[in-house]
Amino acid sequence: MNQIIGGTTIRLHQDDNVVVAAQNIGAGATIPGEGVVTASAVPSGHKIATRAISAGDYVRKYNQIIGVATADIAPGAHVHVQNCAMSEFERDYAFCADARPTQYFTGQDRATFKGIVREDGRVATPQLH
């Protein structure tokens, strides 16, 4: 769902509690579509909290746990090493369990065109005048 919001941030998944700065963002900038204002400057590529994250709660990006809040994080705060760290957590090893095989077209359903097959096996469009 990669959604660029106002050209300044990218939301990677609808359930994430952070967005990623697509450019350097100054303090006091409103993040359109998120209803938050940055508390400090955020460098490009870094994360911004879109809702309150309590100490001990998971920080999610791509709807995956990327860390645990080491302190309360307010909406609009820069999320980085000062307030987020890795920690042990239970993992879902059934990740992608709902993936389905690709449904290919059968020979008769495949797209075709009125072309010619050359002696060397290549195909071409005939010159119709």
- The CATH number that applies at residue 26 is 2.30.130.110
Q: Is residue 127 part of a domain?
A: no
Distance, CA of 26 to CA of 38 (rounded, Å): 7
Q: Is residue 98 part of a domain?
A: no
Closest CA to 26 of 46, 51, 11: 46
What does the mean pLDDT of the chain come to? Answer: 88
Q: Is residue 105 part of a domain?
A: no
Q: Is residue 31 part of a domain?
A: yes
pLDDT digits (tens, 9 = 90+) for 85-125: 998 777 777 777 777 888 888 777 777 778 888 999 898 88
Q: Is residue 112 part of a domain?
A: no
Judged by DSSP in three states, 28 sits in coil
**Domain span including residue 62:** 3-85
Q: Is residue 19 part of a domain?
A: yes
Number of structural domains in the chain: 1
Question: pTM (2 decimals)?
Answer: 0.67
